[in-house]
Each structure stands twice: as structure tokens, then as C-alpha cells.
A and B are shown apart, each in its own frame.
Chain A
Amino acid sequence: MINPGQHTLARLRGFIVPLALLSLAEIVYAMNDVHSEIIAPPHEVLRALSTIAMDGTLWNATMQTLAGAMAGLSIGFGLGLLLGAFLGISSFLDRLLFVSIEIVRALPSIAFIPIAMLIFGFGYRMELSIVAFATFWPTLLLTRSAVSSIEPRLLEVSRALGFGIRASIWKIVLPAALPRVFVALRLAASVALIVAVTVEVTANPLGLGYGLMSAQQSLQPATMLALLCWLAAVGWTLNSALLWTEKRLFGRMTSTDFTR
């Protein structure tokens, strides 16, 4: 039997390995008098993090990255949702666009950085256009499959009750597809963050990615590692928030077991 106390203990067990590794790094660092341009001891990383947090640069960079990622996500997700729903409903459209989608989708979105730079120059517009492109495809594909895999019996029920197309979409298709569309949103959100940071690291003088690059170039490994840890925290928070929302919205429906 597991009582609640043991349960918390079991969860805390997951922190043993990272804490041990950090302590080890600290000890190794203290014993050898290293001066490195690549790594820094944990306590210095912590100090660097508090420095950039205090002077506001961390906050600014985070907002820039999130703005680029979220703006791009809303465009890419919105368009992907729309086209995906159409393709899921109409097998004609699906067959018409299938080849084009498979070809364009195969292009790595990062390859568009030079083109986007030419069109938009540096700044938000370039970053969000690439994020939009990158998030558009997974959203499109997942929405298409969510819509096309709706239980045909439900559509028949709707037909038998005499609902028109609009009412069918509103009452059956949308709510039936919503849980899987939300999974698409979660996936697209993590893609958005990855791509936004990549664009900042490689080209755009904005946000956390650019912060990482300038810390590296000015030989500040502690700041660089602090930003890295911070990015992990941002990504984790974003995903947890979406997971929590998903559970709140659709939690009771996952208990629906059709095999009974």
C-alpha cells in the first residue's frame, strides 16, 4: 500500500540524480582551480541568473521570445486549424492538395531564415513568420486526422435528426475533434518555442536566443548556462500550463470508454 506521504517521497526521488550531479559539479570545481570559457560552477550560474533577473534583461528577453513564439503560433495554428478542418471534411480537397502539402511540409522551416530575412529584415515579423510556418504543418495534419476520424455514426445521428451542415459542424464535428485539436496546440506550442529560439540564435537580434549567443561570444559561460536553465523552465511551464488546461477541459471525457 502507498500512503500519501510515501507518494510525495516517491516523487521527490526524481530529484536525487540532478541534485547529486550538481553537487558533484560543485565539488569537482572547488577541488580543481579551473578557469573555463565553456562551463561554470552551479553557484556562479545561479548568481548570473539573479543578476540578469535583477537588471531586467532576463524579463525583456523572455517577453521578446514569447511574443515572437506566441504571435507566430497563433497565425500558424489558426491557419492550420482552418485548412486542416476543411481537408478532414472534404476528401476532394484532401486529394487535391495532398501532394503539395507533402512536398512543402518536408522543407525544414529553419531553411526559410535567409528568405524571411530578405523579406522582413531583422525583428519580430521575420521570427513570427518562420514560427507560423513551422507550427502550421503539425496543426494541419493533426486537425485533418482529428476531423476525418470522427465517429461516422455520430454524423449519421446528426443526419437522422435533420441537422444541416452548419449545425452538424457546431454540435458534432467541433466538440468531437476538440480534444485532439488541443493535443495539436500543445505540440505546436513546443515547436513554436524551439523555432523562435533557433531563429534568435542563428539570425535575429532578439530574445533569449540572442542572449545566449551574446553571452557565448563575450565569454560569459555562467550567463549562458543561466539562460539555458531559464529556457528549460519556460518550456516546462508552457507545457505544464497547457497540460493542466487540457485536463481541466477534457478530463472527464477521457473516462468515456466505448469498449464497455
Chain B
Amino acid sequence: MTAPLTLDSANTTRSAPVEAPANADGVHTPLGTEPALFELRQATLTLAGRPILEKIDFVVRRKEFVSVVGSSGCGKTSLLRLMAGLARQTAGEVLYDGKPITRSHQDVAIVFQDYGKALLPWRTVTGNVALALEAMRVPKSEYRDRIGCVLELVGLAQHADKYPGQLSGGMQQRLQIARALAQEPKAILMDEPFGALDAMTRQSLQDEILTIVARTGATVFFVTHDLEEAIYLGDRVIVLRPNPGRIVRTFDVNLSRPRDQLRSREDGEFTRLRHELHTLFKELH
């Protein structure tokens, strides 16, 4: 599988230059020193007798942005579901903050690929964000400020009273991200969130998510099938192979932050990684 090369469309009006992180410690702490937020030890998943994931070992550290790539059917989504507490491993351990995951945690937000199905069509933009606040039992008096704040962050403040059906795909996905942010999560699990969007929208959302992550210091686990997206966003890229799903290799991405659609993608490190990943994928198939 080859990902489309989309280098020349970075100068759209929406793709605001990635700002420097607002909090001082976000600038450049070596991530290797941060404590682990997620830890998988020999995690194995079998569904109806079919092995989906086999002996997965990895750690996601706090404030780390980990991308996961792999062809379809390699268990990327299943891996995310284990970490989200939406599925249970058949063997091994999946830890969040040092404790086994038995159910979904409210400080772990999930952004699904199929935004159209993950939003409540009978609630407005505001109402959809409010759902997260209701779950967290936030006092009603704080709703206005908190909803306004996250909608501002994803650029939907002008559309607060619209219904999801009245929004474009990109805006619907922004809304789902806003709902995730309203949880004030420590970690965001994203399952091919930009897979169904056009190239332009995808790039501006990539930059927006980087800005937001830099600002909030959230840990991100990002599933994608787009190799370049994985490199562009991640601190590390984990490569999975199918039947059963297991880790082939992990790449460190030594690109400076903040990233830039043009500069980062023209960096020697980027092209080197892209080359290595493409070659690896060709070998796998």
C-alpha cells in the first residue's frame, strides 16, 4: 500500500502555523524519561478462535505521540480497543497508569474514524460536546465556558447550534475531537481519524491536532494506514504485520517540533524514514 504524496497543499488558509507549546515543559523534555502511561506485556487477543494480536509488547510514555501503521486486518484497531477498555485481551497484560485496564477510563478519550456514526444526530454541536461533560458529572454552570473553550480550539465556535448532519465531514471530525478534548483527557486514542477526509482537510487537521496536543500535553496513540501521516505526527512509529497481528519494528522519529507541513516533510530524516517504511512494507507483502 502506498500513501498519497501530498506535499504541495500546505499553504491553505486553514493550516495555521503550528505554534510553540504554551506550557514550558512541553518544549523538549526527552520523552524517554517520562513514566509509562500505557504498557502492554505479551498482550494477545483471540476472537472466535482466530488469533488477532499475538504477544504485543510496547510502552507509551506520558506526552508521547505514538503512531501505529499496518495494512488492513493487522489488528491496529483491536490494539486500540484493548487500550480503550472496549475489548479484553485473552492473555498477557494491558496496563494504564500501572493498573490493569478493566473498563474505559474517563481520562482516556477515543476518536473514531466513522465520525458520522459516533456523533448523536439529535444533538447540536454544543449538545454533543455536553455529552462528555455529562459523563464526567461536571456542574452545569461550567458547561458554557468549557464547551466554548473546546469549540474555539477546534474552530467550531461559529457552528455551536448546528446539528452534525449540517456539518461537512471535516467539521464532524473536529466535533468528535472537541468532545474528546472536553474530557480533559490524559490520553487520546485515535483510530484512523482522518482516513475518510480529503487531503486538504487532513493536513489542516493534522496540524490542529499537533497544536492541541502541544498545548494540552496529552498522550496520543494514533492508528493510521498512511505512512507519511504516521511519521509527520509521531515521536515513534510502530509497524504491525497481519495474521496474527504483531509488531515488526518500531522507528524513532527524530524530527524537531513544532512540525511544519513543508519543512518537516522535506527534512532528510523524514525522507529517510519514509524510504525505510516503504521498503519494509514492500517486504511484508
Contacts and interface: CB of A to CB of B under 8 A. Distances in A.
Chain A partners chain B: yes
Interface string B26-37: 000000000000
A49 B251 CA distance: 87
A162 B169 contact: no
Interface string B164-207: 11101100000000000001000000000000000000000000
Given A156-B86, A256-B163, A161 B131 contact: yes
Interface in A118-169: 151, 153-154, 156-157, 159-163, 167
B213 interface: no
A171 B134 contact: yes
A157 B118 contact: yes
B104 A161 contact: yes
Contacts of A176: 120, 122
B121 interface: yes
Given A159-B104, A160-B84, A255 B135 contact: no
B114 to A, nearest CB: 6
Nearest to A258: B116
Contacts of B122: 175-176, 178, 253
Interface in B37-74: none
B216 interface: no
Nearest to B189: A160
A48 to B, nearest CB: 48
Contacts of A151: 117
Interface in B100-153: 103-106, 109-110, 112, 114, 116-118, 120-122, 131-132, 134-135
Interface in A228-245: none
A167 B133 CA distance: 13
Given A153-B114, A160-B84, A257 B135 contact: no
Contacts of B183: 161
A152 to B, nearest CB: 8
Interface range for B:
20 to 34
A155 to B, nearest CB: 10
Q: How big is chain A's contact interface, by range?
A: 20 to 34
Interface centre among B84, B122, B166 (most CB of A within 10 A): B122
A172 interface: yes
A13 interface: no
A7 interface: no
A241 to B, nearest CB: 22
A252 interface: yes
A154 B169 CA distance: 17
B106 A255 contact: no
Contact of A154 (B103, B105, B117, B135): B117
A257 B165 CA distance: 6
A257 B85 CA distance: 30
A35 interface: no
A16 B171 CA distance: 49
Contact of B116 (A159, A160, A172, A260): A260
A67 B120 CA distance: 38
Given A153-B114, A160-B86, A260 B168 contact: yes
A172 B131 CA distance: 10
A257 B116 CA distance: 8
Contact of B118 (A153, A178, A252, A257): A153
B118 A162 contact: no
Contacts of B106: 161-162
B221 to A, nearest CB: 14
B117 A161 contact: no
A160 B165 CA distance: 23
Given A160-B104, A161-B104, A162-B106, A258 B117 contact: yes
B134 A256 contact: no
Contact of B132 (A161, A252, A256): A161
Interface string B206-243: 00000000000000000000000000000000000000
16 contacts: A151-B117, A153-B114, A154-B120, A157-B110, A159-B86, A159-B104, A160-B84, A160-B104, A161-B106, A161-B132, A162-B106, A176-B120, A252-B163, A256-B121, A256-B163, A260-B168
The 10 residue pairs across chains A and B that have the minimum distance between CB atoms = A256-B165, A161-B135, A256-B121, A153-B117, A258-B116, A160-B104, A160-B110, A162-B106, A175-B122, A255-B165
Interface of A: 151, 153-154, 156-157, 159-163, 167, 171-172, 175-176, 178, 252-253, 255-260
Given A153-B112, A153-B117, A175-B120, 14 more contacts: A151-B117, A153-B118, A154-B118, A159-B86, A160-B84, A160-B109, A161-B131, A161-B183, A172-B120, A253-B165, A255-B166, A260-B116, A260-B165, A260-B169
Interface of B: 84-86, 103-106, 109-110, 112, 114, 116-118, 120-122, 131-132, 134-135, 163-166, 168-169, 183
